[in-house]
């Protein structure tokens, strides 16, 4: 930390202790229902004060008056303390998140309803339907949405099984060429 940063932090803490500015931190604690008997109360007070100083420095660096930016400071402290509490709760309950941005923590959740697969299939089928003519699209709807076999599709459309095979083969070709 260089001298300028140290001076900014000292100014921020002086501002925090002047008047009733410290009430910002206590107001946030009250809003998030953290009372003095809470196990993390002292930690949260200190975290709130440090965040207050950081938000104050942000205001000063943007050439804004701290008095007019108390709402900004309050919101910053509020979100910081909520995040701190969430992190602490995850750690104390044994829930861990990967810090590796390559890994998506939602990937590990079970998807018994196969919602992700359904969405991907739906998007793929929607794109495919846009490429098909009316008869090919009708074949696809009857085969996959209604589960009809070749004979049932031929009977429903009043065509031969050979025609239905032709529709199917064209759908497969379009699928291969596009995807």
For residue 106, pLDDT over 70 is answered with no
Topology of domain 115-178, CATH: Arc Repressor Mutant, subunit A (1.10.10)
Indicate the domain borders of the chain: 3-93, 115-178
Sign (positive or negative) of CA dihedral 162, 165, 171, 177? negative
The pLDDT score that the predictor gives to residue 109 is 55
The pLDDT tens digits for 42-94 are 999 999 999 888 988 888 888 877 677 788 888 889 999 999 988 888 877 76
Identify the residue with better confidence: 10 or 19. Answer: 10
DSSP state of 141: I
**Dist. CA 62–CA 123, nearest whole Å:** 45
CA distance 144 to 36: 61
119 falls in which pLDDT band (50, 70, 90)?
low
Q: What whole-number distance in Å separates Cα of residue 105 and Cα of residue 80?
A: 22
Of 147, 141, 53, 43, which is closest to residue 92 (Cα–Cα)?
43
pLDDT of 112 over the 70 cut: no
Describe the crossing of helices 41-61 and 23-31 by its angle, rounded to 10 degrees: 120
CA distance 142 to 163: 14
| Confidence (pLDDT) at 96 | 57
Angle formed by the axes of helices 70-93 and 41-61, nearest 10°:
140
Q: Among positive and negative, which fits the CA dihedral 67, 70, 76, 82?
A: positive
Q: CB neighbours (10 Å) of residue 31?
A: 13
Residue appearing with tokens 């495919």: 128
pTM (2 decimals)? 0.51
Q: Does the pLDDT value for residue 117 go beyond 80? A: no
């Amino acid at each position: 930390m260089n001298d300028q940063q140290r001076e900014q932090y000292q100014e921020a803490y002086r501002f925090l202790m002047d008047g009733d500015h410290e009430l910002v931190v206590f107001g946030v604690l009250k809003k998030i229902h953290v009372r003095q008997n809470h196990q993390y109360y002292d930690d949260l007070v200190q975290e709130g004060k440090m965040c207050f100083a950081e938000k104050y420095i942000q205001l000063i660096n943007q050439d804004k008056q701290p008095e007019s930016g108390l709402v900004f400071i309050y919101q910053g402290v509020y979100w910081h303390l909520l995040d701190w509490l969430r992190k602490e709760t995850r750690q104390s309950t044994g829930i861990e998140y990967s810090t590796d941005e390559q890994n998506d923590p939602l990937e590990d959740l079970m998807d018994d309803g196969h919602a992700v697969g359904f969405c991907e299939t739906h998007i793929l089928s929607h794109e495919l339907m846009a490429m098909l003519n009316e008869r090919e699209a009708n074949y696809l709807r009857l085969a996959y949405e209604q589960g009809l076999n070749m004979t049932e599709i031929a009977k429903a459309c009043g065509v031969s099984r050979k025609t239905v095979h032709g529709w199917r083969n064209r759908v497969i070709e379009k699928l291969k060429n596009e995807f």
